[in-house]
Each structure stands twice: as structure tokens, then as C-alpha cells.
Amino acid sequence: MLAALLAVAAAVAPLPANVQWDYQIGGDHPPPAGVGVVVRDWFAGTPQPGAYSVCYVNAFQTQDDEAGVARPDERSAWPRSLVLRQLGSDPNWGGEYLIDLRSAAKRRRAARWVAPMLERCAEQGFVAVELDNLDSWTRFDGTPAARRVPFGRRAAVDYAARLTRRAHALGLAVAQKNTVQLTRREARERIGFDFALAEECGRYRECAGYTRLYGDRVLAVEYRRRDFARACAAVGDRIAVILRDRLVSRPGAAGHRYAAC
């Protein structure tokens, strides 16, 4: 199985090692000088000319409904039977609901729903995709709803593998988004991820967990200056680490910030 995955992965463009990047899922804008990797939204964004462009897809949860916009990844657009409305929205991201991955049949249906989003990424000219909320099964940990989440890690890994196979068939590299608890067997062999995008690995002292799996093919973003300084000191000479505001906003917006080490 591993040999087959590696053969497919060889056909996709690898993430440039330790190249400055920008996280622009809050809206496209000209990247800062020196940036060679840019992540943008699959629906509202476009690839950055000359950069390694990564397409953001919220594959494991719904997007919040947005007035005046008809997106197939919004809560109201997803098939009702695949949205876990009874749990309520993500405790940290209002309006985002978990996709129900409890059975193979549901995972197949969900993967079919996301497939056109991956196809649009490829058609627009993105070279990689970021599948967000891989760790959705943990989102209600510590809340009364935790025991009512009807799926766990194994189902999430299976679903991620389905999406990764589809992305690879389209020529897209695939990023592991967070979820440092995945083993090498799960992340590299079972799913077939090509690189990692890690939020706040400095804050939670997880950066080494990603570099053990992906070497210098890791994109790291911090949202607090002290964590950014910690990540830069720990791994900034080996992987691309940036500081962004949590809303990943455009320049000129209140709270916008960007720095790289």
C-alpha cells in the first residue's frame, strides 16, 4: 500500500522546503516580499502567480452560512443527513458543524460532496490542498456533547484517505492540517499526506511532531507573538514559520499582522 501511495505522490509537486509563506484564507492580497507559498480559499481565492499555491477546503466541517453567497460547503448547502446539527456548532468556531463520518456510506457521500471543490482547486491552477478540521472528532472534548460525537479517529483517517486519493488523482499535493497525534502509519502510509500545515505548534510545543513526519516540509503559523518567538527559536531555521492574526485578514483590516522568521 505504501509503495502505491508513494508512486502517486511522486506525480504531485512537493512543497518547497523552508520557503516563506502567507496564510490568506481571509481574503486574497499581494503577498509580502519573499513569499513563495500562499494558501487561499478554494471558493473565493485564486492561485498566486509564481507561488506554490495551496487551496483551503473545509472538508471535515461546514462553513458558516454567509449572506448573499451560495457556497456548497456552507451548512445549509450540505446534505442534511451529513451535518451533525444536533451537536450544535463547533464550540470555537460558531456556525461550523461537524460532518457525520460514522459509517463508510456517509464517508463516501461526504467525499463525493467535497470532490467538486478539489476539482475546482485543480482547475484554477492550485498545486496543493489543505483539508481543514481533520481533528473534528475532538472538537467537543471537555463539553457535555463529547460523548455524543458518533465517530472518532479511525473514521476521520478513512475519510482523509478517500479525499487524499482523489486529490492526488487530480495532481494535487495534500497537507495534514494540525492533528499531531496521528502516527506515521496513519498520516503517511494510510492517508498519504505530503506535507503539514500546523497552527500554533509553538504554543503547544508540537512542532517537532510535524518535523518528525515531514522534515522541512512544514508550514507553521502562530497567532500570538510570544508563541511565534518560541517557534522561530525552536524550528525557524528549518521550517517556514509565520505570525498572523487569527482572522487571517487582509492588510488594512483592524488587527491585521504578518511576520516571518
CATH number of domain containing 116: 3.20.20.70
pLDDT, mean of residues 35-48: 98
5 pLDDT above the threshold of 60: no
Q: What pLDDT does 66 receive?
A: 87
pLDDT, mean of residues 100-110: 98
C-alpha angle 128-42-110 in degrees, rounded to nearest 5: 90
Tell me how many domains the chain contains.
Answer: 1
pLDDT tier at 1, thresholds 50, 70, 90: very low
Burial of 12 (0-12, 13-18, 19+ CB in 10 A): middle
How far apart (Å, rounded) are the C-alpha atoms in residues 187 and 181?
10
Identity of the amino acid at 47: P
pLDDT, mean of residues 207-212: 97
Say which range, 8-17, 78-87, 99-108, 153-162, has the weakest mean pLDDT. Answer: 8-17
Of the candidates 223, 226, 261, which has an alpha carbon nearest to the alpha carbon of residue 243? 223
Q: What pLDDT does 201 receive?
A: 98
Residue 1: DSSP 8-state: -
| 218-222 and 128-131 beta bridge pairing | unpaired
Beta partners for residue 245, in sequence order: none
Which bin fits 117, alpha (ψ -120 to 50), beta or left (φ > 0)? alpha
> CB within 8 A of 243, min separation 6: which ones?
221, 222, 223, 225, 228, 257, 258, 259, 260
2 pLDDT above the threshold of 80: no
Percentage of the chain beyond pLDDT 90 is 92
Residue 178: DSSP 8-state: S
Say which residue, 68 or 106, is predicted with more confidence.
106
Q: What pLDDT does 55 receive?
A: 98
How far apart (Å, rounded) are the C-alpha atoms in residues 33 and 14?
22
3 pLDDT above the threshold of 90: no
Residue pLDDT, tens place only, 115-163: 999 999 999 999 999 999 999 999 999 999 999 999 999 999 999 999 9
179 pLDDT above the threshold of 90: yes
Q: What pLDDT does 67 receive?
A: 87
Q: What pLDDT does 153 receive?
A: 98
How far apart (Å, rounded) are the C-alpha atoms in residues 192 and 186?
8
How far apart (Å, rounded) are the C-alpha atoms in residues 18 and 236?
9
Domain that holds residue 152: 2-260
Residues comprising the chain, all counted: 261
pLDDT tier at 28, thresholds 50, 70, 90: very high
pLDDT tier at 11, thresholds 50, 70, 90: confident
Arithmetic mean of pLDDT over the chain: 95
Q: What pLDDT does 65 receive?
A: 92
